[in-house]
Structure 1
Amino acid sequence: MAESFIFSIAESLITKLASRAYQEASRVVGVYDDLQDLKTSLSYVKAVLLDAEQKQEQNHELREWLKQIKLVFYDAENLLDEVDCESLRKQLRITQKDKVGGFFSSSNPLLFRYKISQQIKEIRKRLDRVAADRDKFGLQTIAVDRRVGHKREMTYSHVVESDVIGRDHDKEKIVKLLMEPSLDNNAGSKHISVIPIVGIGGLGKTTLTKLVFNDKRINESFPLKMWVSVHDDFNVRSLIIKIINSPRDFAASTDAPAGQQNLRDLEIEQLQYRLRNMLEGKKFLLVLDDVWNEDRVKWVELQHLISVGAQGNKVIVTTRSQSIASIMGTVAYSHHLKGLSPKDSLRLFVRWAFKGDEGKYPDLVMIGREIVEKCKGVPLAVRTLGSSLFSKHEIQEWESLRDKEIWNLPQKEDDILPALKLSYDEMPSHLRQCFALLSLYPRNFRFDSFGVASLWGAAGLLPLQSKDKTMVDVAHQYLRDFMARSFLHDVSDCGTFYFFGIHDLVHDLAVYVAKDVCQLVNSNTQDISENVLHLSFVENGLPYNSVKPSLRGTRSILFPVDEVGASEAFLNAWVLNCTYLRYLDLSNSTCETLPQSIGQLKHLRSISLRNNKRIKRLPNSICKLQNLQVLLLDGCSNLETVPKKLRKLISLQRLGITTKQSILPESDIAKLNCLEYLRVEDCDNLESLFAETRLPTLLTLQVIGCANLKSLPLDTHHFPQLETMLIEGVGNEDWLHRSENTNSVLRLKTISLYNMVTLPHSLQQYASTLQTLMIGDCYELEVLPEWQLNLSALKFLYIWDCPELKSLPSDIHRLTSLQVLQIINCTELYRKYKPQVGECWPMISHIKHTEIRKTWD
């Protein structure tokens, strides 16, 4: 699967070489002309890569050719990064007047220019040598990536109702919506209400719609019913023909032409006349199944053409995309289809795995329960696995399937993995690589958008920072794109960042597409794939010396599981050999020191030592890493001091600090001109923070567990750009005072408050800007203040782990901007506000999105 990224890599290399910032850097270093020649060679190869990627499945020799190109591209990426590193070194010398190295040092510009020029020539030779073979494969030039996956066969409306399990509740909900006189929220669609049904591939959106379409009540209410299978063909002319041809009694209709095939010979004017004539004055139900196209103009055009029927006409749209649902829907909400219950999943599995004789095989049914757990309620996955075991009664066969990952099983075109992969294939190329990196985390991992942005940024998958957008802004846009494709679930939108998860089957898809690029290492790992770029260690005590690949090209190493961390032996055996390492997550590590040679890993963009309880000092050489964008030292409870000369980290965007120091090196931190995120955690000796220091680029500030903190000036002079703040476990809340000067009040968008007995009265001063408020772990908090109703801009309210909180403000309806209310693990609130049944539910039922859960599980 790695070869599917080659076009994306070529595109990013050429884009980088063409950018003004990189051209300036290459001129500074003195290799501009050499790199422009390389760009020409890359363009020559890129022209045929799309065609090659599409043909590689049927041609082994072509696959090998692509692998060779991939290796050259990796070396080219590393080479361009060398130029970046040297450019940053020069920038540091100029801005901070550091001494220049001697003639024979690695910093000598003439020596560096000669070395890089030779490497560029060598890469060009390799690339030209491989490119010379392109003609023998008969490849065509395709300049733009417009690939979409092979869509499934056209659907039809017939369904055997007895074969469908666990969708009665969903069916009744949709039928109820259809039977209502009008669901119109859009004056422009006077006669039509559109109901979107949204979910990932394989959830059964089409099957549910078939149940609704064939319901007796619907037959009686809608004399005219039409079923159109859309897929990626949202061509208005084609859709008109499909709609005209769709009614079951079409042949008997007096308006029908002599032969349906004649419709394709008609002009668009004649077609729209036929369509409007067919629909005029009639009450109809139209199903548009499996819509992928996000062109709103085409939908509005079709909408106008069909808006000629009677009042109360309805359209059901099934789609994987929330964006499409928003574009087409006119009802107040989309129906987000969820997975089947474990009980219904097992019933469906038994139906597909046995001939009705499951009673003879109780041992197999027990194994079947475990197999069904893999499917996480997705009916198509249940069917895929059940069908593969049909008429097989050997326990070993069932156990073998139970123990295999889904992506390792044979798959037919209409099985679960191909169904999910359609959504992946439809993504633009820049999203595919980002999605693949989500495979580095275990199932059920709770992601935060800052962490994902760090990984993608370090991997070079986010465009260079601009005046208009930070890299985090771009990462958030990518995450919204994934949300729109139903690839993320359990999303907490916190205004300026997200928490989210991914469905287990979506995780399996990520692992499948990332083969040979990303690898999870556990006790079952036999070897590491050659040329793997990203490694994730998910178990403690692994025999690092027995499995050791060539690490020189590895770019990411991470330990994403709590309580699993690296030792000093691991650092010495693995990390220090990774010449081109960009991302190093040593969270929960047990090493007591970092070697001085860490400063030689000049390509590093991100390093985390979070929650290392043993490390006391860091080598000052870490400040030689001018590429470093992320340095996380929070939770390092024994760290005596942060490294000297932090100001040298001129690319640093995120900084987390835990230290025993009583005074932070604020003058150094103030010179970090790219710093956007700062977390100060458990610095018990700190009494004052940034009293005399201005942080002009800081967007997010988190202050956690600083028990003796007495002073933190929260105003626009010190933090002119601050928009997100988290406060947790501070001993003295006096410094959260209300600013007397209204012109200096921060324009905060997001505030998170944890471990508080009461909410600070000063929050009122952010009433006009505050969009997100998170309240968590406030175990003694009993009431929310009535002044909270003054937060006129509040859109998102999250209340987590507040067991003593007895009620919400009585006039919560005054928060007219509130769109999302989430309450989790709050015993009293759950009892009172439980949806539909709680005594206080009517007070919050008007809020667009409410989620009230008894516990986190």
Structure 2
Amino acid sequence: MAESFVFGVADSLLGKLASYAYEEASRAYGVYKDLQAFKDTLLIVRGLLLDAEDKKNQQHAVREWLRQIQSICSDAEDVLDGFELQDKRKQVVEASGSTSMKVRHFFSSSNPLTFRFKMVQQIKDIRDRLDKVASNGTKFGLTTINVNPGLPVQRRQMTYPDVDASSVIGRESDREEIIKLLMQPHPQGDGVGDKRLCVIPIVGIGGLGKTTLAKLVFNDKKVDQLFQLKMWVCVSNDFDIKQIIINIINSISDSMLASASAPTLNFSQHQENINNLDMVQLVSRLRSKLSGQKFLLVLDDIWNDDRAKWIELKDLIKVGTVGSKIMVTTRSKSIASMMGTIPSYVLHGLSMDNSLSLFVKSAFEEGEEENFPNLVEIAKEIVKKCLGVPLAVKTLGSSLYSKFDLTKWEFVRDSEIWNLEQKQDDILPALKLSYDQMPSYLRHCFAYFSLFPKGFSFGMNSMVKIWIALGLVESRNGSENLENIAREYIDEFHSRSFLLDFKDEGQLFVYKVHDLVHDLALYVAKDECVLVQSHTRNIPNQVRHVSIVEKDSLDLDLILKSKQVRTILFPIRGMGLDSASLLDTWVSRYKFLRLLDLSDSSMDTIPDSIAKLEHLRTLDLSNNSKIKRLPHSICKLQNLQVLLLSGCTELETLPKGLGQLVSLRKLSITTKQSVLSQNEFASLKYLQSLDFYRCDNLKFLFDEAHQPTFLETLIVDSCGSLESLPLYCFPKLQTLFLKDCKKLDLSLNNENPIQKLKMKHLYLREFPGHLTLPRWIVGAADTLETLEINDFPNLKMLPECLTTMTHLKRLFVRFCPQLLTLPNDIKRLTALEGLRIFNCPELCQKCQPQIGEYWPMIAHIKHIFIGKQK
């Protein structure tokens, strides 16, 4: 991945060096000329990078040259980071007014004279290294290619993530054939005399659309009539029988609630709490739910080739009535043969005509292709190389969306990337071309998808926090919310067909990365990013980003040799660090860490030495249930932007000196405190997101004199003692999430006239005592884009101001059984794109497609989900 990382880092460095702030700082510390010389050389190198990318596969020396440039650029980034840190330390000292702090600062390494001497030496060393390596570029015959990395990316209208039969091309006959198999009796049984269970495998190469076909079948109305119960379980790499049983039971619960498509915030709201049951209890629960039922179970994405494991699972679920079916999807014909009780349904590629139709749909707006017959002719040649694989067709088509330059189309058609050696039946070159078509800022971000296992379900912050911590997301005007910019990146990846199962609920969203796209991320990441598993033995010396996905892998012998590690991540929930000594080693060794994720760990202390990680941007300590106190030295991390303490249920108090974290933008808190330090929070001038979770003793938050005035997102979840929440304290608030605060009076501030709010996203959950919604919602009528009303069992009427919300895009109403009506003039909500209503029995009945009395009022809405009533 050297070329993409270097290109991105080079752009980032050049942007910083060109800024007024860096110019002033470099003059102040006497290093202006040195930095300008470094900048001039970097500009030359940047022009050679794309040519080096084209030639690296033919010349080993060019690959090594790229690796060296990458290392120098990353080191330079660390040095330049020192400017920002020095400035922030100066801010803290001046703001404190403390003489003793000023004295300590004078005699520390942060003293301006000491800092200047150190900086001059570091910049000179890096400049000399870059000059030496850059001179080798011409020896390899590299030429300068001028590019504009900041070119805007053409956007297309986002597609709804749920499967829409009308939007799937070329799979109608496949769907009907699978449904026929589901309707047929099963006289052959499973080979051992059991006629109750039929297993239908769908097999084909990755990206062929096996899961899409299974979803088309699963959601077909004819299938609803065939089975009493339908369950969907994604298995992926790890064929863990206990986890599969848990997922089946949860899928049964989802099916009964008809709410499987509704994501929640970091937890599944209505699934059974069964994770702590032992195997005997789980099997008993599973059998009781399946016994006597005619069911359809989909096991999606099977990689297990252990027949004994499969037979064990099948024996546990053979309790349904005659006619029950299992449908499995897999890439492997041998696995399909092992699992199937009938011949596999082999899924083939799309026809040329269907492939071309899908390509045209991805590359042009409807009807636009008629204006470009020359491009359509090239498209016919491109789709031949896609081998009928829908994902390859869509990603290539999307990469050319709204690009009408003939040379760009010819590049895709003629590129030698298709000739790269690959595993049999892979389609990686098609995806690699789509990757190459992305702007540099997206390419730089893309590789980090490789830090998560295949099939991982990304929540709204999983990837965003990595990009921001590594400096890959930059504000265009100096004041933009970085999370919002990162969300735009996510939307870009989605628009290019790199993401799937995208569920959008405003600021709350989840998605997955297709397996082939994950393969591509691994390909471009190479040795820069490593996913550490139990079988991992050798970690490359140049690795900078490490993700640990199995606890067995935490062997002290696996201590990373590279001291340049920037990311340590535990992405799997419940799998954190349980070795304090290993943490001590990491803190002392990896001083350039930008992101340290210790979520779900089981340590009771964090070392004082944490303050040595002066480059740290994100520290995630969430769900550490043993930590009672944090070292006050954490507050010396002036570069820290994100501090996550949510779920630290034993944390007695926040660290003293929190106000010294002058860069803090996001803070998530669980604490036993009843009172917060108002002055500390008032000092956090850049705080944009604040999250309170299970702060059981907290009665109030802030007053008008002590509030974080830049706050844009406020989440208050399960704070049982909270009585008041003065919204007037947050003039810039855009997102408000309130859940299960039993003593909180939602009327909050009922002053007249009602204050105007700038809120865009409002989520209200679990307020059983409220008969109406708060009047202050009127104040947000002009700006609200997302409104969720969830679990208001006594709510009988939606607010009158609802139909004045002309910007409302999403309306979600859930678990409001006494809500009987919609406003008669709901048609006035012309911006409304998504409506979801379930567990509101009478209202759902009135909103049923075609037959409900309210259907004519809502039929114009693009995406509608009405929960079926049992």
SS in 2 for 1:656: strand
Matched, 1:728 2:733: no
- Report the residue type matching 2:711 in the other structure: L
- Report the residue type matching 2:565 in the other structure: T
Deviations 1:517-539 (A, max 9, x none): 21111112112122211111112
Larger Rg: 1
Matching residue of 2:166: none
1:484 shift after superposition: 1.9
Select 1:706's aligned residue among 719, 726, 736: 719
1:337-416 superposed matches below 5 A: 410=423, 415-416=426-427
Select 2:111's aligned residue among 97, 105, 108: 108
1:71 shift after superposition: 1.5
Is contact 1:587–1:611 with CA below 8 Å preserved after alignment?
yes
d(CA) in 1 for partners of 2:603, 2:110: 31
1:145-544 superposed matches below 5 A: 166-168=171-173, 207=350, 210-211=353-354, 239=372, 410=423, 415-464=426-475, 466-467=477-478, 469-496=480-507, 498-544=509-555
Is contact 1:202–1:419 with CA below 8 Å preserved after alignment?
no
Deviations 1:49-81 (A, max 9, x none): 211111000111211122122222221111111
1:733-772 superposed matches below 5 A: 733-737=744-748, 739-742=750-753, 744-757=755-768, 758=770, 760-762=773-775, 763-772=777-786
Is contact 2:399–2:438 with CA below 8 Å preserved after alignment?
no
SS in 1 for 2:558: coil
Matching residue of 2:805: 792
- Report the residue type matching 1:210 in the other structure: D
d(CA) in 2 for partners of 1:59, 1:443: 32
Task: Specify whether residues 597 and 673 from structure 1 end up closer, same or farther in structure 2 by C-alpha distance, changes over 3 A only.
Answer: same
Is contact 1:710–1:735 with CA below 8 Å preserved after alignment?
no
Task: Specify whether residues 801 and 499 from structure 1 end up closer, same or farther in structure 2 by C-alpha distance, changes over 3 A only.
Answer: same
Which runs of 5 or more residues in structure 1 are unaligned?
A: 149-163, 172-199, 215-225, 247-285, 292-316, 329-406
Is contact 1:555–1:582 with CA below 8 Å preserved after alignment?
yes
Matching residue of 1:686: 698
Matching residue of 1:546: 557
1:610 shift after superposition: 0.9
d(CA) in 2 for partners of 1:560, 1:834: 40
1:213 shift after superposition: 8.9
1:37 shift after superposition: 1.7
1:28 shift after superposition: 3.9
Task: Specify whether residues 168 and 850 from structure 1 end up closer, same or farther in structure 2 by C-alpha distance, changes over 3 A only.
Answer: farther
Task: Specify whether residues 579 and 146 from structure 1 end up closer, same or farther in structure 2 by C-alpha distance, changes over 3 A only.
Answer: closer
Is contact 1:229–1:289 with CA below 8 Å preserved after alignment?
no
Q: Aligned pairs, how many?
A: 653
Matching residue of 1:142: 145
Matched, 1:697 2:710: yes
Matching residue of 1:133: 136
1:447 shift after superposition: 2.8
d(CA) in 2 for partners of 1:480, 1:452: 13
Deviations 1:371-427 (A, max 9, x none): xxxxxxxxxxxxxxxxxxxxxxxxxxxxxxxxxxxx995257xx4211222211110
Matching residue of 1:47: 47
1:201 shift after superposition: 7.8
Matched, 1:121 2:124: yes
- Report the residue type matching 2:832 in the other structure: L
1:690 shift after superposition: 0.7
TM-score by length of 1: 0.69
Q: What do you get for the CA RMSD once the two structures are aligned?
A: 4.0
Task: Specify whether residues 785 and 51 from structure 1 end up closer, same or farther in structure 2 by C-alpha distance, changes over 3 A only.
Answer: same
Matching residue of 2:789: 775
d(CA) in 1 for partners of 2:428, 2:399: 23
1:287 shift after superposition: 9.5
SS in 2 for 1:424: helix
SS in 2 for 1:691: coil
Matching residue of 1:195: none
Matching residue of 2:281: none
Which 10-residue stretch deviates more, 77-86 or 94-103? Answer: 94-103
Deviations 1:180-236 (A, max 9, x none): xxxxxxxxxxxxxxxxxxxx986699946715999xxxxxxxxxxx9999999x999
Is contact 2:596–2:618 with CA below 8 Å preserved after alignment?
yes
1:31 shift after superposition: 2.4
Select 1:572's aligned residue among 581, 584, 597: 584
Task: Specify whether residues 832 and 576 from structure 1 end up closer, same or farther in structure 2 by C-alpha distance, changes over 3 A only.
Answer: farther
d(CA) in 2 for partners of 1:837, 1:290: 42
Deviations 1:573-607 (A, max 9, x none): 33442110001111111111100000110000111
Is contact 1:230–1:288 with CA below 8 Å preserved after alignment?
no
1:474 shift after superposition: 2.1
d(CA) in 2 for partners of 1:720, 1:549: 46
1:472 shift after superposition: 2.2
Task: Specify whether residues 783 and 505 from structure 1 end up closer, same or farther in structure 2 by C-alpha distance, changes over 3 A only.
Answer: farther
Task: Specify whether residues 104 and 61 from structure 1 end up closer, same or farther in structure 2 by C-alpha distance, changes over 3 A only.
Answer: same
TM-score by length of 2: 0.68
Is contact 2:573–2:600 with CA below 8 Å preserved after alignment?
yes
Task: Specify whether residues 659 and 786 from structure 1 end up closer, same or farther in structure 2 by C-alpha distance, changes over 3 A only.
Answer: closer
- Report the residue type matching 1:790 in the other structure: T
d(CA) in 1 for partners of 2:584, 2:734: 41
d(CA) in 2 for partners of 1:235, 1:791: 36
d(CA) in 2 for partners of 1:447, 1:318: 22
Matching residue of 2:84: 84
Deviations 1:699-720 (A, max 9, x none): 01111111111121112xx111
d(CA) in 1 for partners of 2:576, 2:499: 27
Task: Specify whether residues 228 and 18 from structure 1 end up closer, same or farther in structure 2 by C-alpha distance, changes over 3 A only.
Answer: closer
d(CA) in 1 for partners of 2:540, 2:839: 43
- Report the residue type matching 1:571 in the other structure: L
Is contact 2:503–2:509 with CA below 8 Å preserved after alignment?
yes
Matching residue of 1:253: none
1:553-632 superposed matches below 5 A: 553-567=564-578, 568-632=580-644
1:784 shift after superposition: 5.3
d(CA) in 1 for partners of 2:77, 2:668: 29
Q: After TM superposition, what 4+ stretches of structure 1 lie above 6 angstroms from structure 2?
A: 226-232, 234-238, 286-291, 321-328, 824-832, 836-840
Matching residue of 1:156: none
d(CA) in 1 for partners of 2:170, 2:499: 25
Is contact 1:521–1:536 with CA below 8 Å preserved after alignment?
yes
- Report the residue type matching 1:769 in the other structure: T
Deviations 1:699-755 (A, max 9, x none): 01111111111121112xx11111110001111242533532436332211101122
- Report the residue type matching 2:445 in the other structure: C
Matching residue of 1:646: 658
d(CA) in 1 for partners of 2:110, 2:150: 45
Is contact 1:713–1:735 with CA below 8 Å preserved after alignment?
no
SS in 1 for 2:568: strand
Matching residue of 1:31: 31
Task: Specify whether residues 429 and 529 from structure 1 end up closer, same or farther in structure 2 by C-alpha distance, changes over 3 A only.
Answer: same
Which 10-residue stretch deviates more, 720-729 or 525-534? Answer: 525-534
- Report the residue type matching 1:816 in the other structure: T
1:691 shift after superposition: 2.4
d(CA) in 1 for partners of 2:43, 2:403: 37
d(CA) in 2 for partners of 1:615, 1:452: 26
